[in-house]
Structure 1
Amino acid sequence: MKWSVSLLGAGLVLVVLRDLFHTLWHPTRHGGLSRLVMTALWRLSRRVRPRRRVAGLVGPLAMVTVVVMWAATVVLGWAIIYWPHMPGAFRFAPGSEAARAPSALDSVYLSLVTVATLGLGDIAPAEGWLRVVSPLEALVGFALLTAAVSWVLEIYPALSRRRALAVRLALLREADPTPRQLDNTAGALLLDGLAGEVVRVRVDFTQYAEAYYFHDGEDRASFAAMAGFAGALAERGQRAQRPEVRLAGELLAAALRDLAAVLDQRFLHTGGAPAEVFAAYAADHDGGPARR
């Protein structure tokens, strides 16, 4: 019976490690629990009015919630591992109040102290296998802290790239270049550069799926609101006379189709054409599509 309970705790720890791996390090980054938490908070924010004020908090709040969930589950899992063997398999410091506490409380306390790498020493494992398992918890705690910091440092550059592309598209919308103005080498370079930036955003949505749940704020910096205008620029390039401009327009259109496929497959599930996907993307982020 003791070992069955300990195995249950080990299972909880493994669930967290798997979710951590798939959220941060797996190439496709399909986190299970973390994705459910973020999706739930995003959908909940859609029920709140005014939504724009709340939506800006969803991404950061979701990340904090996921990290707290990971930490709490790790602490609980290791506490369950210790609990059936408490107090017989542990040594208590002379005069320690911990020896008088319930074994469940001692287990949670030991797990918290170990995962935080404090090493107070008033409770120490006495059996050989516990002397191996306990340092492993400290290693997991250190890995969890490192992973949380890395996650923050990775996600915000991806958001900056997306918002920079949105501002660039907003400036182009204000300039409103005609097909004739794009029908030159500069126009080809412009469309080719936009295609490259769209591809980077597409990769960001693949590698950092949680970036979807960050609201970009004003329409000028919202890629959700500006993606439609990128499609309009691609169409203007495709109607140009010069072959290099038509090629650049085709590249931009292909990049947008690829991005739309990723957004639809992972988040929106409309099953529609790219224009419909981008319209749904704009609606999901409370942004209107740019005029064409």
Structure 2
Amino acid sequence: MEWLVSLVGAGLVMVTLRDLFHTLWHPTRHGGLSRLVMTALWRLARRFRPRRRAVGLVGPLAMVTVVGMWAGTVILGWAIVYWPHMPGAFTFSPGSRAAQEPALLDSVYLSLVTVATLGLGDISPGEGWLRLVSPLEALIGFALLTATVSWVLQIFPALTRRRVLAIRLALLRDADPTTQQIDCTAGALLLDSLATEVVRVRIDFTQYAEAYYFHDGGDHSSLAATVGYAAALAERGQTAGRPDVRLAGDLLAGALQDLAAILDQRFLRTGGAQADIFAAYAADHGRTS
């Protein structure tokens, strides 16, 4: 029975590590605990008024919540591993009152101290297998801290790329170039560079799905509000006279179609055409495309 309880705790740790792996290093559209938490917070925030103020906090709060969930389940899982073997399989420092506490409380305390790599030493494993398992928890705690820092450092460049594209599209929308103005070498370069930026954002939504739940602020920096104009530019490029401009227009149209497919598969699930998907994306972020 003791080993069965310990295996339950080990299973809880493995579920957490799997979720961390699929969130940070091998994202899939099948989701996981982190995606469920972020989606739930996003939908909850959209019900509040004023809507934009609440939605603007979802991204940072979701990341904090997910990291807290990872840390909490690792600590709890390892505490369950220790619990059936406490206190007999552990040694206590002289004068320590820890052995007088309930076994579960000592197990949670030992797990918390170990995952934080504090190494206070008042409780230490005595049996051989526990002396191997306990340092492993410390390694996982260090890996969790490193993964959290790298996650934060990776997500904000992705947000910057998305907002730069949004602002660029907003400026083009204000200038509103005609087909004749685009039908030149500069127009081909413009459409080609936009296609490249759209592809980068598409990759960001694949690699960092949590970026979807970050609010972009004003309409000029919101891709949800400006992406529809990119489709209009692509259409103008496709009807231009110069073949290089038409090719660039086709590239931009293809990149936008790919972006719409990713948005629909991972977040919106409308099953509609590109225009419908971008309209749903704008509505989900409180914008009009």
What range describes the TM-score normalised by the shorter chain of this pair? over 0.9
SS in 2 for 1:91: strand
Alignment of 1:153-192 (within 5 A): 153-192=153-192
SS in 2 for 1:124: strand
Residue type at the aligned position of 1:110? L
Cα RMSD (Å):
0.8
* Corresponding position of 1:59: 59
* Corresponding position of 2:223: 223
8 A contact 2:234–2:249 mirrored in 1: yes
* Corresponding position of 2:118: 118
8 A contact 2:29–2:265 mirrored in 1: no
Alignment of 1:75-90 (within 5 A): 75-90=75-90
Structure 2: distance between partners of 1:49 and 1:255: 35
**TM-aligned CA distance change 1:147 to 1:29, over 3 Å:** farther
SS in 2 for 1:216: coil
Structure 1: distance between partners of 2:223 and 2:137: 42
* Corresponding position of 1:193: 193
Q: Offset at 1:28?
A: 3.8
* Corresponding position of 2:133: 133
Q: Offset at 1:239?
A: 1.1
8 A contact 1:5–1:80 mirrored in 2: yes
SS in 1 for 2:104: helix
Structure 1: distance between partners of 2:27 and 2:100: 49
Q: Offset at 1:46?
A: 1.1
- Name segments (4+ residues, structure 1) moved above 6 Å: none
Identity, in percent, stands at 79
Q: Deviations over 1:140-162 (max 9, x none)?
A: 00000000001000100000000
Q: Offset at 1:30?
A: 5.1
* Equivalent residues, number: 289
**5+ residue gaps in structure 2?**
none
Matched, 1:149 2:149: yes
SS in 2 for 1:48: coil
8 A contact 1:7–1:81 mirrored in 2: yes
Residue type at the aligned position of 1:22? H
Q: Deviations over 1:247-286 (max 9, x none)?
A: 1111100100000000001110011111110000000000
**5+ residue gaps in structure 1?**
none
TM-score, with length taken from structure 1 = 0.98
Q: Deviations over 1:69-124 (max 9, x none)?
A: 00000000000000000000000001001111111100000000000000000000
SS in 1 for 2:57: helix
Q: Offset at 1:31?
A: 4.5
